[in-house]
Chain A
Amino acid sequence: MALIEIIDFRKSFSHKSVHEGVTFYVKKSECLGLVGGSGAGKSVILRSLIGLERPDSGQILIDGTDIVKFTEKDLIEIRKKVAYVFQGGALFDSMTVYENLAYPLRAHTQLAESKIADKIHAQLGEFGLSDAVNLYPAELSGGMQKRIGLARAMMMDPEIILYDEPTAGLDPYNTNKIQELILRLKAKGVTAILVTHDMPTAMNVCDKFAFLKNKIIAEQGTVEQLRNNKTSLIHQFMEGQIL
C-alpha cells in the first residue's frame, strides 16, 4: 500500500498554472526521486506534502488520510511524522546547534532535559558533527548547515522524509556525506522523496523516479528501467538533451 499518494494535484500562482493533474505514489520504505527542470514545481509538491502550500484541487494522501483540507492544527500530527529537509538547512539563526536540535523535542515531547541532551549528542555523533554542538548557524559551513538541518529533521524519528535539493551547491565531500546519511536513513526503512538536480546522488539513493514536465508527471519508472532505456525522458534529462 502507498504511504504517500498524490492524485490529480493542481496548483497555480497568480493565474499561472504550475501543475495540471500530477499523480504519483510512494510505497513504504521507498525512496522516490522527483526530478524535472528548474521551475517545474518540484518544491511546490514537496511543500504541499506537509501543508506549507495548498493545492487548488486534488488529493494528498499520507498513510491513506487526505490532508488537503487539514487546518494548521490538524497538520501538526502530520508534521510530526513527515520531516522536511530545507534546501539551505533553514536553521534558526538565533539558536545554537544544540537548541536547533532540541526544538522539535521540546515542542512535542515531555522528555527531561537530560534525555534531550543525550539524544542530541547521539544524533550529532552519528552525523559526525559533535564538535558543532555549541556553534551558531552563522559559524557553520553550508554543508554543515545542511547536515544539521537533516539531523534536526530526524530528531522526531519521522516515518517520511522530504529532501529539497539536499546536495545543491555542496562540494563532493559534503555531497558524499549527505548521500551516506540518506542511505543510512533509507536502511532504517524511512520513506523518502528526494527533489534534486544532482542525478548521480539520485541514482545512488532512489528506488524509482518521477519526471515532472509540462505540468504533469511525464514519466515514472524504477532506476533499472530508466538506466536501461536510452530513449526515456529522464535519461535525456540526465544527458542534458531536454529541460
Chain B
Amino acid sequence: MKTPELRIPNRLKEQLEFLGGSTLLAKQTFSEMSTKPFYGSLLVDQIYQIGVKSFPLVFITALSTGMVMSLQYGLGLEKFGGKPYVPRLVASTILREMGPVFTSLMLAARVGAGMASEIGSMVVTQQIDAIRALGTSPIKRIVIPRVLACLIVLPLLVSIANMVGNFGGMVVGSSELNLDAQFYLRRVLETSNLKDYLAGFGKTFFFALFISIPSCYFGLNVKNGTKEVGIATTKAVVVASLLILVGDFFLSKMFWIIEKWL
C-alpha cells in the first residue's frame, strides 16, 4: 500500500525550514567559533562596517527618540504637576526599552539588509562555492565575523544611544519644559540604577543574534539568481525586526524575573 504523502502548505514549510535552518546555522557558528583559523582582519572590517558606519543613524535615532519622549512626557504630566518626573521616566524608558529596541531596529534595517544582499550576491556569483571549493569554510569567513561584530558592536551602540537619548531629553527638558539642565542631569543620575541599564544592555546580545543569524541564513539560502537576493533582503529585515519586537517582550519578562531574584 502506498503511504499517503504529507502535504505541508508552502508558507508553513518555509517557516519550518527557517526555524530549523537558522538553528543549525547558529549551532554551527558557535561550534566553529572555537576552532582555528580565526580571521581577525575580517572581524575588524565588519566592526567598522556595522559599528562605525551605523553610528550616525543610531545617533540621530537616539537623539530624536529622547527629545520626543521628553516632550510628550512633559506635556502629558504638566497638568498633574509631574514635570520633575520627566528625567526619571525618560531615562528609565530609554535604558530599558527604547535604547536597545530602536538601535537594534535601525541596525536590522541597515545591517541586516546589507548582510543578506551581500551574502546573497556572493551565492549567485558562486563566491560561496569558491570559498568551499578552495577548502575553506563560509561559516568561518562570512558568518562568524558578522555575528561576532554584531555581538561586539550592538551593546556599544546601545550604550552610546542611551547617553545620546538622555541628552536629547535634557535638551528638550531645559528648552521646552523649563527644567534646569543640571537638575535634569542630576535626576537622571540619581534615579537611574544599574538594574535599569543592565536590563536593556542584556537584551542587546540576543538582539545581535536576532539580526545577524537570520540575515546570514537568508543570504546563504538564495537559490534562483539575483531576483531572490531582493526577496532575501526583505525577509532578513522583516524577520529580524519581528524577532526584536516579539523577543523584547519575553526578554523584558525574563529580566524582570532575574531582577526579582537578585
Give complex CA distance A75, B138 in Å. Answer: 14
CB of B126 closer than 8 Å to a CB of A: yes
Q: Which residues of A have CB within 8 Å of B129? A: 47, 52, 84, 86, 90
Q: Which of A83, A88, A103, A152 contacts B126 (CB 8 A)?
A: A88
B133 contacts A79, CB within 8 Å? yes
Chain A residues in 8 Å Cβ range of B135: 75-77, 79-80, 104, 107-108
- A107 to B134, Cβ gap below 8 A? yes
CB nearest to A76 among chain B residues: B135
- Check A86 against B126 for contact (C-beta < 8 Å): yes
A68 and B21 CA atoms in complex are apart in Å by 22
For chain A residues 58-108, which have a beta carbon within 8 Å of chain B?
Answer: 72, 75-77, 79-80, 83-84, 86-88, 90-93, 103-104, 107-108
Question: In angstroms, how far is the closest chain A Cβ from the Cβ of B192?
Answer: 43
Look across to chain A and name the residue whose beta carbon is closest to the beta carbon of B129: A52
A84 touches B127 (CB 8 A): no
A72 touches B137 (CB 8 A): yes
Residue pair A86, B134 in contact (C-beta under 8 Å): no
Residues of chain A with a CB closer than 8 A to B37's CB: 107
In contact, A90 and B125 (Cβ under 8 angstroms): yes
Interface residues of B, dominant DSSP: loop
Q: Is the CB of B137 within 8 A of A103?
A: no
Interface set, chain B 96-145, CB cutoff 8 A to A = 125-127, 129-130, 132-137
* Chain B residues near A91 (CB-CB < 8 A): 127, 130
Would you call B136 and A52 a contact (CB within 8 A)? no
Contacts of A72 in B (CB 8 A): 132, 137
Q: How many residues of B contact A (CB 8 A)?
A: 12
Interface string of A121-154 (1 = CB under 8 A from B): 0000000000000000000000000000000100
Alpha-carbon separation in the docked complex, A86 to B126 (Å): 8
A50 close to chain B: CB less than 8 A: yes
Name which of A92, A104, A108 has the most chain B CB atoms within 10 A of its CB: A92
Cα distance A88–B126 when bound, in Å?
8
- Cβ-defined partner of B133 (8 Å) among A50, A77, A88, A92: A50
Interchain CB contact under 8 A, A92 and B132: no
Size of chain A's interface in residues, with CB distance under 8 A? 24
Q: Could you say which residues of chain A place their CB within 8 Å of the CB of B134?
A: 79, 103-104, 107, 152
- Contact check: which of A88, A104, A108, A152 meets B125 at CB < 8 Å? A88
By the criterion CB–CB under 8 Å, are A107 and B125 in contact? Answer: no
The residues of B that contact A76 with a CB separation of less than 8 Å are: 135-136
How many angstroms from the CA of A107 to the CA of B133 in the assembled complex? 12
Residues of A within 8 A of B132 (CB): 50-52, 72, 79
- Report the minimal beta-carbon distance from B81 to chain A, rounded to whole angstroms: 59
Task: Give A80 to B133 CA distance when docked, in angstroms.
Answer: 9
CA distance A65 to B77 in the complex (A): 77
Closest residue of B by beta carbon distance from A86: B126
A152 to B135, CA, bound (A): 13
Q: In the complex, A75→B133 CA distance in Å?
A: 9
- Beta-carbon nearest neighbor of A50 in chain B: B133
Q: Which residues of A contact B127 (CB under 8 A)?
A: 90-93
Q: State A92–B134 Cα separation when bound (angstroms).
A: 12
- Cα–Cα, bound, A79→B22 (Å): 26
A-B contact pairs, 24 of them (CB 8 A): A47-B129, A50-B133, A52-B132, A52-B133, A76-B135, A76-B136, A80-B135, A86-B129, A86-B130, A88-B125, A88-B126, A90-B125, A90-B127, A90-B129, A90-B130, A92-B130, A93-B125, A93-B127, A103-B134, A104-B134, A107-B37, A107-B134, A107-B135, A107-B136
Since A87-B126, A108-B135 are in contact, a sample of 16 more A-B pairs with Cβ atoms closer than 8 Å, ordered by chain A residue number, is A50-B132, A50-B133, A52-B133, A75-B135, A79-B132, A84-B129, A86-B126, A86-B133, A88-B125, A90-B125, A90-B126, A92-B127, A93-B125, A103-B136, A104-B135, A107-B134
Q: Which 8 A-B residue pairings sit nearest by Cβ, starting from the closest?
A: A79-B135, A90-B130, A90-B126, A84-B133, A76-B135, A104-B134, A86-B126, A107-B136
